[in-house]
Amino acid sequence: MQTRILVIGGGFTGIASALRLARKNIEGVHITLVSDRQHFEYHGALYRLVTGTSPLEICMPLREIFKGTNVEVVLDTITTLDTTVKIARGASGSKYHYNHLVLGLGAETNYFNIPGLKELSFGMKTINDALRLKRHISEVLLTCKTGTKEEQVCATNFVVIGGGPTGMEMAADLIVYARKIAKEHGVDPSLVNVEIVEGAKRLIPTLPEAFAERLEERVRELGVKVLTNRVVEREEVEGVYLKDMELRTKTVIWTAGVMAHHLYREWGFSVDKRGCVEVDEFFRPKGMTQVYVGGDAAIAEYWGMAQTAHAHGEYIAEVIASELAHTTAPVFHPKAPIYAIPSGPGWAGVLWGKTTVYGKTGWFLRRLVDFIVFQWMLPFRKAWDIFQSGRTPSDACPVCSVEIGSANGSHHQHSIP
């Protein structure tokens, strides 16, 4: 009888484990990967989608990734899991029997029940989030031209909540992009204001102070205002309220909270306050065998990073292969990730162990990391094509199809209705 390996989640953990297992060509094994999306979304480049890069770089079809392998890819949303009889069920009504189960459902945005945030702010977790935000930026800038001075100030103020890497890269690119769009639409670009709000004493509180300070200096140079030690209390349609401070804005981008996927809690796994699952040294949830949880949903060192999730996925594949071969699984050695944080076009700060690099070289290293990620999933040629698509600007304003002016100041076709 065939051994059924079921992988749930088409993100870093799921793809890495399924690919590594497939490459082992173990006889008598059937691998099924179930995901609620047809494609893999590369979150690391989401901010660039908001500010003008081609969506091709962010979106890789799963069928392309698994082409030529023995992995069966199924589009379904898993809703229930019964580990006693080893069956997962999907929203489609399908049942998935397994012998070994890999769970890589990732994380979700956490709004900490702050009033108004879930309904009114923009998230940064999916391609849809990014495209919605891109459109909104153009809409507010296009429509504010006819408003009063006060309305213009409100419309041109963008507030990014969360001074971690996602908030930093978003704010830095946004100020450059929004000024370009404003200019195209006849709005004074100097009105554009971007603010980062961070609850801790400093930006990127999880990384070394000197590194964070250099990145903060860079975003300030670009014109971003930094507010630290500020906690958000509520959001309303035209403003966000911090403790003793109100910021007038129509755009709040929330990057300050993530939590492991809610299904782990619903399925009764033992979790911490972030909803992450307690796992043993083989990434098995407490008291379980032949079930593995990795990536953003597992309590582990260097949590919340793609590189970590990828390493978990590959390691889980090794554990399963060892079990099937009745050998001892290798020991997992967590590796410190490379932190490569972009800060405006063509500039990034990189922290690799104790080495730091800033500026254009940092940007080059960041792009190299992007390419390595594509290479994890795809053959060289395909990875190169996707990487190149990230260099192609998708500069048309999503509202009025005006092409944003190129660096040399030339402008292209216009078709404002």
- State the nearest-atom distance from the C-beta of 152 to ligand FAD, in Å: 29
Which single residue brings its beta carbon nearest to ligand FAD? 11
As beta bridge partners, residue 5 has 31, 100
Residue from 157, 193, 307, 343 touching ligand FAD (CB under 6 A): that is: 307
Contact 17, 294 (CB under 8 A): yes
Q: Does 367 bind ligand FAD (CB under 6 A)?
A: no
Residue from 5, 6, 12, 222 touching ligand FAD (CB under 6 A): that is: 12
Of 188, 170, 171, 169, nearest in space to 179 by CA: 188
Q: Does 124 bind ligand FAD (CB under 6 A)?
A: yes
Site track for ligand FAD across 34-53, x = CB under 6 A: xxxx-----xx-x-------
Stretch that binds ligand FAD, among 152-160, 239-247, 290-298, 316-324 (CB under 6 A): 290-298
Residue from 8, 279, 300, 404 touching ligand FAD (CB under 6 A): that is: 8
The residues in 159-178 that bind ligand FAD, with binding defined as CB under 6 A, are 166
Q: Does 390 bind ligand FAD (CB under 6 A)?
A: no
Contact 152, 187 (CB under 8 A): yes
- State the nearest-atom distance from the C-beta of 148 to ligand FAD, in Å: 34
Q: Does 152 bind ligand FAD (CB under 6 A)?
A: no
As beta bridge partners, residue 75 has 35
Of 295, 338, 339, 290, nearest in space to 313 by CA: 295
Contact 73, 66 (CB under 8 A): yes
Contact 170, 254 (CB under 8 A): no
- State the nearest-atom distance from the C-beta of 107 to ligand FAD, in Å: 6
In one-letter notation, the amino acid at residue 54 is S
In one-letter notation, the amino acid at residue 19 is L
Site track for ligand FAD across 217-256, x = CB under 6 A: ----------------------------------------
Q: Does 306 bind ligand FAD (CB under 6 A)?
A: yes
How many C-beta atoms surround the C-beta of residue 237 within 10 A?
9
Q: How many residues bind ligand FAD (CB under 6 A)?
A: 33
**124 token code pair:** 């940064």
Residue from 5, 7, 9, 390 touching ligand FAD (CB under 6 A): that is: 9
N-terminal to C-terminal alpha carbon distance within the chain: 64
Distance (Å, whole) CA 313 – CA 333: 13
Task: Give ∠ CA 140-58-255 in degrees, rounded to 5.
Answer: 55
In one-letter notation, the amino acid at residue 281 is E
Q: Does 309 bind ligand FAD (CB under 6 A)?
A: yes
The residues in 102-121 that bind ligand FAD, with binding defined as CB under 6 A, are 104-106
Contact 226, 72 (CB under 8 A): no
Given the rule CB under 6 A, which residues bind ligand FAD? Answer: 8-14, 34-37, 43-44, 46, 77-78, 104-106, 124-125, 166, 261, 263, 295-297, 304-307, 309, 337
